[in-house]
Structure 1
Amino acid sequence: MDISTTPLRYELLAEVGEGSYGKVYKAREVGEKHRLLAVKKFNIRGDASETGIPVFMIREVALLRKMKYFNHPNIVQLLDASAVSVGRSLDLTLVLEYIDQDLSTYLSKVPASGLSQDCIKDVMLQLLRGLDFLHTNMVLHRDLKPENILISSHGEVKIADFGLSRIYTYNIALTPGVVTLWYRAPEVLLNSVYMSSVDMWSAGCIFAELFLLRPLFQAYTEVQQLQKIFEVIGLPSEEDWPKDSPVSYAVNWEPKASSTKLLPNLGPDENDLLAVSRSVSWTYYCSLNCTG
């Protein structure tokens, strides 16, 4: 499964993250370059010959390999991948370019005065360029959030973590439980049809977070998340409600109070851009579901 002519040799320096399936390490390449690397090690327990590699891991490797040859500056680059049998288990290792921190860590260090508008523009421009590249190649990321966006000490922004990503084709059966709750688009919350607009919604939430220094919509259930969204964008009409959603339209969805002034420090241009990014999802699925 190696993707390079000669597998990369490296030494692990420190563990920097841990998930359900494995760990992420900071490493250094052995040889002339001595460049820093990010190494993701997945351990697939049980009889790998029977269970195989989990689908989300195969997708991540396949998509990263596909995008590697384009070498887009705003997509994290896969440098090597290998799978090795260890007894009845299977160790899958991905070696990626190393970036200092994710956007969540970056924002946690921002002073209370906030980011400059020039900095916000630069981050968003790079994020949207990466997203445009993915969507042009029919790739839905489906889990855009600050933890999956890397930003270097030099201000380079790269989209990472493609475990939930899919190649989009027409009439594909898409999983409803995608995207971390706070960045999840209304059509996903309503278990309706969706496509690349779900990534645009997430990007809009991240855009707002760059100003607020906190997530725009913070809830702990899907119902609460919808209510918080409707407080900002208003309750759509019954005619605009997606016809294929198992969640029924009801007047009690109407928010008791409006929170449309969550971003009072935004100028008219920034507010217009935010409004476009958060409405594009709703506009898309209304076009599919509305009779008028």
Structure 2
Amino acid sequence: MNKTVVVANDRYEFTTNDCIGEGAQATVFLGSDKRTGKRVAIKRIKHRIMVGQPPSNAFKVPEEEFKIIEPLDHPNVLRYLDHSRHVDGNKAYEYIITEYMEHKSLSTFIETNPTTYKDTSRLRKAFKQILKGLSYLHNNNIIHRDIKPANILVSSDYTLKIADFGMSKLDIQRSITTQVGSQLFNAPDHAYGTSKQTDLWSLGITMLCMCMSATYAGGHLTIYQDITSELRTIHQSRSVSQIPRFNTIPNEYLLVIDKCLSGKSSIEDILSSPPLGNYKCPGGGDHDFSGTNLEPIMDYSHKDGWGGIIHGHKCCGQCSGNFRCKGRCNNKCEHPRQVGTKILSNYCIKCTKLLK
């Protein structure tokens, strides 16, 4: 396939066969910074100039959008670099240049890497990143209004960044008068008086998609269908933790989602509460602690009277088999959640100390 080099402006360019994403209104290309050689993402929006229409009227992206995104600087918000506009005959082109995100959108990522968020430490980190990015936007009086997995991008080191500010507005009046965004992720009209809570609702549904990706084999369409089937209940209860369909998700993360949907919690409250909050380890270690570092120490009483102690077994809550005793008897011991065992204490695998 022949490639055509397109110059977005005097600094950024791309080739037409380096398409990395395409939508109804825009195409995204992998481009490069001619000064540094770094890769960038270049979104091209093509418009047709109608007969008798001034070329400037064909451009759909208002300058206000660029004014919103240009000063943003946060590790969990996509970095805007530049924009330009060109007219070629009866066609008008707009180019938006941003940093390049190797793993594309979160919706693509959870479909191609469905087991990633089975690891609750990764899930916890991801939740915190999106919340911090959204908090930064809100603190700068920006309402995104279209939070969803397709508008969150994943970098090479798996950092999540909020992107696509096409529907964003400055929160001048502290409320919204129009319902925009994607229907599945929209908050119910009657429940929220502020746009910040609308963003939080959308983020809660996005988090639910992330949690479900670990247990659903059908991809994001199956996830969306299952959430849609429960949407009326979710809207009425402003909660997902009591819906049986979602009972495979760890309860502590369902409660985080509940807070996002409640219309009452602030981002700061959610970030400071378990399991997302930072806590000093009871074992005295100087590290982040949320209870996920605890592992039981088990006391197994055997026929020969010897009490074997096993350090470092972490019960997942879904085990069904027995575990071989690390004591002298070499017998298989009952699972800690079954009869015949007793939890003596807890053990922090980072501090290597008993926690009382």
2:86 maps to 84
Change over 3 Å in CA distance of 1:150–1:277 after alignment to 2: same
Amino acid across the alignment from 1:80: D
2:173 maps to 170
2:139 maps to 136
Change over 3 Å in CA distance of 1:53–1:193 after alignment to 2: farther
**Superposed displacement of residue 105, structure 1:** 1.1
2:286 maps to none
The runs of at least 4 consecutive aligned structure 1 residues that moved more than 6 Å come to: none
1:23 maps to 27
Change over 3 Å in CA distance of 1:144–1:48 after alignment to 2: farther
Larger displacement relative to structure 2 (119-128 or 107-116): 107-116
Q: Distance in 2 between matches of 1:219 and 1:111?
A: 17
1:210 maps to 210
Please identify the structure whose Cα radius of gyration is greater: 2
Change over 3 Å in CA distance of 1:180–1:83 after alignment to 2: same
Identity %: 22
Amino acid across the alignment from 2:162: I
Is the aligned partner of 1:151 residue 2:158? no
2:338 maps to none
**Superposed displacement of residue 281, structure 1:** 6.8
1:246 maps to none
1:261 maps to 244
**Superposed displacement of residue 218, structure 1:** 3.7
Amino acid across the alignment from 1:167: L
TM-score normalised by structure 1 residue count: 0.73
Name the SS for the 2:71 alignment partner. Answer: helix
8 Å Cα contact 2:105/2:153 also seen in 1? yes
1:111-133 Cα deviation digits (max 9, x unpaired): 45853101111111111111001
Query: Quick one: which of 92, 105, 108 aligns to 1:105?
Result: 108
Q: Distance in 1 between matches of 2:26 and 2:174?
A: 33
8 Å Cα contact 1:115/1:210 also seen in 2? no
| Greater percentage in helix | 1
Task: Name the structure, 1 or 2, with higher relative contact order (CA <8 Å, separation 6+).
Answer: 1
| Greater percentage in strand | 2
1:201 maps to 201
Query: Quick one: which of 118, 123, 138 aligns to 2:126?
Result: 123
**Superposed displacement of residue 146, structure 1:** 0.7
Q: Distance in 2 between matches of 1:82 and 1:44?
A: 14
Q: Name stretches of at least 5 consecutive residues in structure 1 with no aligned partner.
A: 1-5, 237-257, 284-292
Is the aligned partner of 1:61 residue 2:63? no
